[in-house]
Amino acid sequence: MSGAISCVKSPLPEKLYGVLKVVVQIILIGLAGSIGAAARYSLGRLVAKRMRSHVPLGTVLINVSGSFLIGLLFVAALRHRISSTLQTTLATGFLGGYTTFSTMSWEGLQLIRKGNARASFAYLGSTIALGLLAVIIGFALGWVI
């Protein structure tokens, strides 16, 4: 898609055209980020209501699924199935808003504060391990499909 755009001669000076492209990219990333944040909030609430647990399973699901999706996205971009602009918008914007390292860290601290240090370390360790496994699976699957 970006290749088709670059073939068209812009009536704008090249420098201004470049600045406008960056501004549009920033706006798209912001919009995608807000959609990702809304998806994270909605999914987190849904999981919390359905699965009563002292471990924040919603955040685990969100971070692991986001890791899987970023693996797929990067392979799609490497294979030229999506443009680098779309990959940046989705990875930095949507997945940046969707996944949440800070919430995971806060929830880990809350478990410690409640006297559940073992559960905290299990939660944090398993989220990181599962996230790494998910991105590997997403990356590998991206080459197969």
Q: Does residue 135 contact residue 71 with C-beta atoms inside 8 Å?
A: yes
**pLDDT tens, 8-67?**
666 778 888 889 999 999 999 999 999 999 999 999 999 999 998 889 999 999 999 999
Which pTM value belongs to this model?
0.85
Encoded tokens for 55: 């471990």
Say how far residue 128 (Cα) sits from the centre of its chain. Answer: 14
| Burial tier of 114 (Cβ tally within 10 Å: 0-12, 13-18, 19+) | exposed
The closest of 95, 96, 94, 76 to 84, measured between CA atoms, is 76
Q: Amino acid letter at 111? A: L
pLDDT in tens, 95-141: 999 999 999 999 999 999 999 999 999 999 999 999 999 999 999 99
Write down the pLDDT at residue 56.
93
